[in-house]
Amino acid sequence: MPGKDRSTRRHFLKAAGSAALAGTVSRVTLRPAEATPAMLNSAIRNVVGEAPLRAGKVKLDIPPLVENGNTVPMTVSVTSPMTADDYVKSIHVFNEKNPQPYIGNFYLGPSAGRAQVSTRIRLADSQKVVAIAQMSDGSFWSASVDVVVTLAACTEEL
Amino acid sequence: MASALINVPKKAKRGDIVEIRALTSHIMETGYRRTAAGEVIPRDIITNFTCRYNGREIFRADLFPAIAANPYLSFFTTATESGMFEFEWIGDNGFSQTASAAITVE
């Protein structure tokens, strides 16, 4: 507001605030909530806790180039003897840029015989997908794949 | 309305590792899409899947909106005895579905 020198700064902040808010709103309309690498890390930490996460043992099969993000075939297999005292307890799959970082949690046991799970997932953008396996001894192993998506899963208006 | 498709081998030798495939028809609405009017379409997904082999749980999954529509799952188990596989899907808005398949183990 001109003429009121003392409150210029306040007005500026107000204006800046509402501009920022408007910016956020329009951004949300264009692309609703998006997970960030930080959300990915905290989602992983929720599962793994403070335990060390090592690369290896897990194989994540996703086509590196995906035409349609609405249905992407995915297979996770884990190298494990699957015996009563050495087996895969669970497999967790995460992503980086969907609206939320979780994709699925799969719980198996020694009777599975083979630690392998397949499903079809949605990917809202080209991004990194991470699979984590929890072994019966409490250790965690992981694998990640970068996927390029040409047609994103539909998070926009119908 | 909803229907499930199960694929389990009818026969197996004792100790064989068999693949189980389960698919059910479901929209898996993410809750992140909007109508042209800008209203969010409420989430409607399957959140849990369980498979039991003669009453014993052999596989369980937590599903999220990032699972594609008509969720498909494939996993393995060791054939130990003849009997039934029971499948259960649970989801939003009280969605619940069950299916079963028999296996003969020689």
pLDDT at A82: 95
A112 to chain B: which residues are within 8 Å by CB? 58-59, 75-78
Interface test with A, best of B13, B26, B32 (most A CBs within 10 A): B32
Indicate whether A23 and A48 sit together in one domain. Answer: no
Whether this model's ipTM surpasses 0.95 comes out as: no
pLDDT at A157: 52
Whether residue A11 is predicted with pLDDT greater than 90 in this model: the reply is no
Indicate whether A117 and A59 sit together in one domain. Answer: yes
Beta bridge partners of A92: A105, A132
Indicate whether A16 and A48 sit together in one domain. Answer: no
Residue A156, domain member (yes or no): no
Share of chain B above pLDDT 70, in %: 98
Indicate whether A138 and A91 sit together in one domain. Answer: yes
pLDDT in tens, B30-66: 999 988 898 999 999 999 999 999 999 999 999 999 9
Taking the C-alpha atoms of residue A78 and residue A81, their distance in angstroms, rounded to an integer, is 9
Taking the C-alpha atoms of residue B31 and residue B40, their distance in angstroms, rounded to an integer, is 7
Q: Are B17 and A119 inside 8 Å of each other by CB?
A: no
Q: pLDDT tier at A153 (50, 70, 90 boundaries)? A: confident
The domain tally of chain A equals: 2
pLDDT at A36: 77
Indicate whether A50 and A117 sit together in one domain. Answer: yes
Indicate whether A121 and A86 sit together in one domain. Answer: yes
Any A CB within 8 A of B41 CB: yes
Cα distance from B60 to chain A (closest Cα, Å)?
5
B77 to chain A: which residues are within 8 Å by CB? 111-113
Domain that holds residue B101: 4-105
Domain that holds residue A15: 1-30
Indicate whether A42 and A76 sit together in one domain. Answer: yes
Indicate whether A24 and A79 sit together in one domain. Answer: no
pLDDT in tens, A87-96: 999 999 999 9
pLDDT at B3: 85
Residue A130, domain member (yes or no): yes
CB atoms within 10 A of CB A129: 25
What pTM was estimated for this model as a whole? 0.83
Interface test with A, best of B7, B64, B85 (most A CBs within 10 A): B64
Q: Measured between CB atoms, which of B32, B69, B76 is closest to A99?
A: B32
Q: pLDDT tier at B80 (50, 70, 90 boundaries)? A: very high
Whether residue B84 is predicted with pLDDT greater than 90 in this model: the reply is yes
One-letter identity of residue A153: A
Whether residue A150 is predicted with pLDDT greater than 80 in this model: the reply is yes
Please give the span between the terminal C-alpha atoms of chain A, in angstroms, as a whole number: 42
Residue A78, domain member (yes or no): yes
Q: Are A104 and B76 inside 8 Å of each other by CB?
A: no
Residue A158, domain member (yes or no): no
* Among B85, B66, B48, CA closest to A106: B48
The domain tally of chain B equals: 1
Residue A157, domain member (yes or no): no
Greater confidence (A16 vs B106) lies with: B106
pLDDT in tens, A85-136: 999 999 999 999 999 999 999 999 999 999 999 999 999 999 999 999 999 9
Whether residue A30 is predicted with pLDDT greater than 60 in this model: the reply is no
CATH number, domain with residue A70 = 2.60.40.2470
Indicate whether A23 and A95 sit together in one domain. Answer: no
CATH number, domain with residue B73 = 2.60.40.10
